[in-house]
Amino acid sequence: MGFTAANNAGSAVALQSGQPDFLWFLNNDTLVDPDALSALVRAARQRPSVGAVASVLYDMGTDTVQAYGGGRVSLWNGRAQLVQAPIPDEQLDFLAGTSLLVRVLAIQQVGLLDEQFFMYWEDTDYSFRLRAAGWALTVAPDSRVWHLGAVSTGANTVKRKSETFERVFSQSTVRFYRRHAPLPIVPLTRGLGWYFIKRLLKREWPQVRAIVQGTVGAFRPDRPRAST
């Protein structure tokens, strides 16, 4: 089904079986501090304008911050990066979906995750949709979650990614910038295009092929956006 559709399936059951105030999206390659969820809920209840709250993520088994809740993304140079230290909420472009508490009132307004994103970029897209609907984003500094990362797409390292990762990530990248960038060709050329050239120069042919497949797949007819 993909990461996004699977999360939506669970969300639909939760919304139909009760009247929750929040839904907690949590990756299955995580370990959580006992107070992680309580800290998220406290942060959300302090500010009714907050639509979603993220945890601080740590590399598995260490105290190294993997992401301080989310990150920044440029709609012009095609680059996105996680932040490792606190920044003002207004400067956070997206929250990481690894551990994300979302207010049900916000879900009722903007819908669930978009299943056009099989995996990757779905949390960034969702953050943009929440902000566009007037909801604030924030991080709960005392919500601690340890994350392994990249488990779903096989063996990945900093220098070399699996073919599955390259294909799925490229497809989601194209979909995101086509939807949100003022001129999608600019960030796609400067970001994904340069990434593709580097793979060519390194003669990583399986990865090159996967990037092409993902890019082409992004232009196929979209499935309907999920909603409550």
For residues 92 and 71, give the distance between their C-alpha atoms in angstroms, rounded to a whole number: 6
Q: 103: closest CA among 72, 134, 81?
A: 134
DSSP state of 205: H
- Specify the residue for token string 């059951």: 13
For residues 216 and 210, give the distance between their C-alpha atoms in angstroms, rounded to a whole number: 10
Residue 207 has pLDDT above 50, yes or no: yes
pTM of the model: 0.91
Report residue 228's pLDDT band, with 50, 70 and 90 as the boundaries. Answer: very low
Residue 75 has pLDDT above 60, yes or no: yes
The rounded mean pLDDT for the chain is 92
Q: How far is the CA of 78 from the CAs of 39, 56, 194, in angstroms?
A: 33, 24, 10
- Render 112-175 in DSSP notation, one character per residue: S--TT-SSSSHHHHHHHHHHHTT-EEEEEEEEEEEE----TT----SS---HHHHHHHHHHHHH
**What pLDDT is attached to residue 212?**
95
Residue 151 has pLDDT above 90, yes or no: no
Residue 77 has pLDDT above 90, yes or no: yes
Residue 15 has pLDDT above 50, yes or no: yes
